[in-house]
């Protein structure tokens, strides 16, 4: 057992030949040694896709939704279709090999590979999660930042790859640094025409008059696996759910706000642009108890 685990996929995509179902899906590697060639397009162009999967007591959560989104993202980038049997085996293997910890994560990455090779590169990395208790119990401060696109960019300009989980996260990280410069923990992107989109690495859910509301997923945002499971929790509890266009006025009028992600889970928002917001700690605890006890 170890605290960090790396498995390199031997057959990342379905169309890699020859396909031998009995062959090893992956090769164990040392996480701190060099593995990536300098011409790999994931490194030089951010040309690839990834998923980050919550692992609780060695069990990967929402595995099939993550794999399904992995395939959708790859298709949006015209990458070869991931061999899900191989990826599933590698994910389960790294989770089993990780040191026993309550919360960890597994990250799947597939790039277009070395330029001109025609063969994608793939790996699964797993490690313990950092302590998220403060974000879950004290809440986080966010600022709103202009995304620079209209809310309908996914339909008007699909080549911008909005809604795909790509390795190109430079803009997201720049927005996070800007939020920190403004004294906040995270940012909420807003479209140029005034609609609330998503966080830098998370989805928004609002409590509105006894309902849970999240921005529609057809407006250039990433459909969240954690958000989907929070809606599953809500439906179990008899709470109505809705995907809607959300304006800044809607955000201001909401009863409570959360940012949802695979490692942090549900983090209540305690302020927006320096204005304090009500935090529902009881509901937050119930949501996180549900998320951390998922069987799949």
Residue 23 has pLDDT above 70, yes or no: no
Q: Taking a C-beta distance cutoff of 8 angstroms, is the pair 26, 91 a contact?
A: no
Q: Residue 22: pLDDT band by 50, 70, 90 thresholds?
A: low
Return the pLDDT at 296. 65
Residue 17 has pLDDT above 80, yes or no: no
Residue 29 has pLDDT above 70, yes or no: yes
Q: Residue 3: pLDDT band by 50, 70, 90 thresholds?
A: confident
pLDDT in tens, 96-150: 999 899 999 999 999 999 998 889 999 999 999 999 999 999 999 999 999 999 9
For the sheet with 48-56, list strands across it.
Answer: 26-29, 5-9, 121-128, 103-111, 48-56, 59-60
Q: CA nearest 228: which of 294, 153, 132?
A: 294
Residue indicated by tokens 């999967």: 53
Question: Which residues neighbour 55 within 8 Å (Cβ) at sequence distance 6 or greater?
Answer: 61, 95, 98, 103, 104, 105, 106, 126
Q: CA nearest 123: which of 96, 98, 97, 86?
A: 86
Return the pLDDT at 295. 75
Q: Residue 18: pLDDT band by 50, 70, 90 thresholds?
A: very low
Return the pLDDT at 15. 72
HSE toward the beta carbon, residue 210, CA cutoff 13 A: 2
Model confidence pTM above 0.85: yes
Give the Cα separation of 53 and 48 in Å (integer).
17
**Cis status of the peptide bond prior to 288, with omega within 30 of 0:** no
Sign of the torsion angle spanned by Cα atoms 171, 173, 177, 178: positive
User: Residue 134: enclosing H or E segment and its boundaries?
Assistant: helix 133-138
Mean pLDDT of 3-19: 79
Lowest mean pLDDT among 26-40, 84-98, 129-143: 26-40
Lowest mean pLDDT among 30-39, 82-91, 228-237: 30-39
Query: What percent of the chain is modeled with pLDDT above 70?
Result: 96
Integer CA distances (angstroms), 101 to 51, 264, 296, in order: 20, 16, 18
Return the pLDDT at 175. 97
Mean pLDDT of 1-19: 78
pLDDT in tens, 159-190: 998 999 999 999 999 999 999 999 999 999 99
Residue 267 has pLDDT above 70, yes or no: yes
Q: Taking a C-beta distance cutoff of 8 angstroms, is the pair 179, 142 a contact?
A: yes
Mean pLDDT of 60-82: 96
Give the Cα separation of 93 and 61 in Å (integer).
14
Q: Residue 36: pLDDT band by 50, 70, 90 thresholds?
A: confident
Return the pLDDT at 53. 96
């Amino acid at each position: 057992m170890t605290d960090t685990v790396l498995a390199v996929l031997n057959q990342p995509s379905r169309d890699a030949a020859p396909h031998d179902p009995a062959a090893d899906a992956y090769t164990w590697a040392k996480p701190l040694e060099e593995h990536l060639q300098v011409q790999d397009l994931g490194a030089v162009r951010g040309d690839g896709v990834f998923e980050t999967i919550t692992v609780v007591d060695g069990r990967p959560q929402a595995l099939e939704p993550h794999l399904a989104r992995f395939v959708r993202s790859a298709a949006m980038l015209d990458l070869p279709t991931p061999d899900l049997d191989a990826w599933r085996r590698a994910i389960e293997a790294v989770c089993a090999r990780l040191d026993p910890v309550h919360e960890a994560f597994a990250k799947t990455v597939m790039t277009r590979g070395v330029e001109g090779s025609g063969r994608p590169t793939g790996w699964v990395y797993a490690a313990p999660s950092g302590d998220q208790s403060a974000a879950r119990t004290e809440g986080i401060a966010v600022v709103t930042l202009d995304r620079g696109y209209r809310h309908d960019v996914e339909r008007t300009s699909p080549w911008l790859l909005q809604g795909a989980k790509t390795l190109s996260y430079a803009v997201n990280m720049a927005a996070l640094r800007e939020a920190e410069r403004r004294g906040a923990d995270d940012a909420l992107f807003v479209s140029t025409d005034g609609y609330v989109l998503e966080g830098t690495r998370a989805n928004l859910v609002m409590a509105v008059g006894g309902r849970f509301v999240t921005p529609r997923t057809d407006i250039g945002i990433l459909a969240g696996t954690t958000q989907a499971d929070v809606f599953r929790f809500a439906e179990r509890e008899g709470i109505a759910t809705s995907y809607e266009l959300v304006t800044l006025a809607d955000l201001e009028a909401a009863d409570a706000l959360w940012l949802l992600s695979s490692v942090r889970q549900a983090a209540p928002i305690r302020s927006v642009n320096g204005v304090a917001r009500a935090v529902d700690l009881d509901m937050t605890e119930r949501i996180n108890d549900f998320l951390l006890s998922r069987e799949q």
